[in-house]
Structure 1
């Protein structure tokens, strides 16, 4: 559980200035100017924002799927496996042994996942992992069109209602797809040719969030930041190429307010990790 000390620490990190992470050459070419630091995150059309963690009445929302051997993976055969390692009758204590690929369950995509010499899980800094979050929903559209993507028009419409997306925020895309996670067949939603169909970020929306709003992280409640029918993965290349990170297989995004939440990304610093399973919490 997150103690009061933890909540205070999250608030301090979110409110304090921090130097932006290095920006790749690709990001520079797309017009990124870097992040001004989390002190500037609170700025925007609605004026200074107070981190949710600073309020004693904040609620912690768990956006993480339980890590199980049955959770669907991007490709069949990548599912986690586990077995006994130590038992109380035989050894006096209990431990399991797991076999996993790093991109299983609710997990982070670090830049090195798609970018040679990109930063690894151990190189993502604490100030990048506690950040303000906005939630944008395309759930109703996704219910009728599994190939739908978030567009720049969607982002502009959201800002007309909720105000400017803060610099350095995590932008979370709620599609409602997490409700299918109990069935690998429904979650992957592959057609007869093996092409998957689920919603994602559109490449134009990703580029706009980086260049116009300085987004630090994109998150989604599906198997991939890119839509399921993508074969070129432009969102992955653009986001990770800009030295930012992604989060996939989130859940319960409907419980996170459109703005005003603080995201806590509990990424294990896996050695040389291309990302990895993480506990994701939202405070609002």
Structure 2
């Protein structure tokens, strides 16, 4: 935690970002994160790192074009669109592949983003991470109806296909799980951003400002440095 000045009020900042390194878990089928020396002080007099990663690596934001054929890409958004008045929704502790129901979503809110804390960041780097909780379709639709962006401390607001985590197809009744990516479609289909793979949500209050700036690329998503800003 560090303190700076936000307006005239002293504030505290909390980093909610998983580090990006060669061990960063990536969504099944996505490219791995690779960091290799391109130039070294010994050979070249300076350092340059060859960085390779997918647009949805680590803690990242999804643009509508991630799932929507005519959805906007990141270039359509102003930097201010990635600063949110956030409200924490505490859903934890959740079970593996548990659907978060619409009852978890407030009936109304003046927040710009609902941030679902499931406790699943504790499993980052484990096979279990891919058996994460997710937003049930009705919960996602309620968020979309409220006109709020969504963030969560898990890999996706939709279930990751079974078999990539600890659980096998024999362990899970997939008849109860939605097909495709209905939560993404509900939110991104209305131009609402989604922030995934957050961490450290046990340290933040119910209301705070979330700053999640993407790289300056015109793409379907981007890694972000997600920072919570709160009154000290």
The interval holding the TM-score normalised by the smaller chain is 0.7 to 0.9
User: Displaced runs of 4+ in structure 1, greater than 2 A?
Assistant: 1-5, 227-231
Given the alignment, which residue of 109, 112, 117 partners 1:165?
Answer: 109
The count of aligned residue pairs is 214
Unpaired segments ≥5 residues, structure 2: 162-177
- Aligned match of 1:22: none
Show CA shifts across 1:180-203 (max 9, x none).
1132x1212xxxxxxxx2101122
* Structure 1 stretches lacking a partner, 5+ long: 9-53, 189-196
Shift of 1:2: 8.6
3-state DSSP class of the match of 2:36?
Answer: strand
Cα gap change, 1:199 to 1:70, in 2 (>3 Å): same
Q: State the match for 1:226 in structure 2.
A: 158
Asked if the contact 1:121/1:275 (under 8 Å) is kept, the reply is: yes
CA distance in 2, matches of 1:147, 1:77: 21
Deviations 1:29-68 (A, max 9, x none): xxxxxxxxxxxxxxxxxxxxxxxxx631x21011100001
Change (3 A) 1:280 1:94: same
Partner SS state of residue 105, structure 2: helix
Q: Name the SS of the counterpart of 1:59 in structure 2.
A: strand
Alignment of 1:133-172 (within 5 A): 133-140=86-93, 142=94, 145-156=95-106, 164-167=108-111, 169-172=112-115
Residues 79-118 of structure 1 correspond to what in structure 2 (within 5 A)?
Answer: 79-118=32-71
Per the normalisation by structure 1, the TM-score is 0.70
Q: Is the 8 A contact 1:106 1:277 kept in 2?
A: yes
Structure number having the greater strand percentage: 2
Q: 1:150 to 1:2 in 2, by over 3 A?
A: same
SS in 2 for 1:237: helix
* C-alpha contact (below 8 Å) 1:72/1:181 kept by paired residues: yes
* TM-score normalised to structure 2 length: 0.85
CA distance in 2, matches of 1:269, 1:114: 20
Distance 1:179 1:203, change over 3 A: same
Q: CA deviation at 1:76?
A: 5.2
2-structure distance, mates of 1:249, 1:128: 19
Q: Is the 8 Å Cα contact of residues 61 and 221 (structure 2) preserved in structure 1?
A: yes
Contact 1:199–1:228 (CA under 8 A) maintained in structure 2: no
Q: Judging changes above 3 Å, is the alpha-carbon distance between structure 1 residues 77 and 236 closer, same or farther for their aligned structure 2 residues? A: closer
Structure 2 distance, partners of 1:102, 1:236, is 16
- 2:210 paired with 1:257: no
Residue 244 of structure 1: aligned partner: 192
Q: Does 1:78 align with 2:31?
A: yes
CA contact (8 A) 2:147 2:192 kept: no
Corresponding residue of 2:147? 214
- Greater helix content: 1
Q: Partners of 1:152 and 1:186 in 2: how far apart?
A: 24
Question: Take 1:110 and 1:77, find their aligned partners in 2: how far apart are those partners?
Answer: 16
Q: Sort the Cα spacing of 1:128 and 1:108 in 2 relative to 1 into closer, same or farther, 3 A.
A: same
CA distance 1:71–1:206, change in 2 (3 Å): same
